[in-house]
Structure formats: structure tokens, C-alpha cells
Amino acid sequence: MHASGQFWVIFILGVVLKVPIFILGWVLWKAFRVRDQQNPPSDPVISRMALCAYCGSRITIGYDAELLHRQAVLVSESTGEGTFDVESRLIRSTVGQPRHYPQEPDFCPDCGELTSWAPIEPIDLSGVALTPGRRG
């Protein structure tokens, strides 16, 4: 009878008490997946342009992460330097250009107002055929 009691103690400690932990983990995982699907993360590493809502001043926000990473890999392969170091320098030089910000500034660099920025959608000109002698 003593061995049967040990089995039930091990069974309760090993299985029954862990089931709620697994259920809680599954519920949290499912909740995070639903939240991520409802609110897709905004990618701050895609370069985009924006206009000041007050004066129309144009700025560039972010940087093209894929392009800079490819450039960093090429440079690091030819120089033997670490890809992370090269990519860090490329990002600093890109964001250090005039009117280029890693994220939207609170104040417009031209009018100085506390502003909101209106994004400018990129224009796809791949389907437009330009004829010689004719502009845009």
C-alpha cells in the first residue's frame, strides 16, 4: 500500500500541478498572438518621408535597414571588419544627414511649432514609360 501512495504523490506533483501552468502559458501565448495580429508593429527601420502639418516642411524619418545591412555585409567581407561595426557607422551617417531623423521630432525644424507629421506615400513610377524628349 505504501508504494501506491508514493505513486499518487508523484503523479499529483508531476502532472496535476503542472497542467494549470501549461494552460496559463498557452493562454498567454494565444493572447499575445492575437494582440500582435490586431496591432502589427510599426517598423521604425524603414525610411519614409513626412510633411509638417503646419508649414509643409519635409523631413525623412528612419533608414532602410535591409539596404544598409547588405552594404555592411559587403564592406565587412572586403575589409574583415565586423558587420555590426560597419552597419552602426552606416546608420549613424544616414541619420546624421540634414533633415533626417531616427523618429519623428516633436517640433518642426522650420516653423518650431509642436507638430504632427503627415506621412508621404512613396510614388511608384515603375509602370510609367517616359518617352525621349518629354519630361515626367
Could you state, in order of their start, the residue ranges of all structural domains in the chain? Answer: 2-32, 48-120
What pLDDT shows up at residue 127?
59
pLDDT of residue 29: 93
φ/ψ region of 59 (left if φ > 0, alpha if ψ in -120 to 50, else beta) reads beta
Q: Could you read off the pLDDT of 101-124 as tens digits, one per residue?
A: 888 889 998 888 888 888 887 655
DSSP 42: P
Output the CA torsion sign for 41, 43, 49, 51. positive
* pLDDT tens column, 29-44: 999 888 878 866 555 4
Region 86-106 average pLDDT: 87
Read off the pTM: 0.48
Q: Which helix (H) or strand (E) holds 49?
A: strand 48-52
Q: Report d(CA 78, CA 116) in Å as an integer.
A: 43
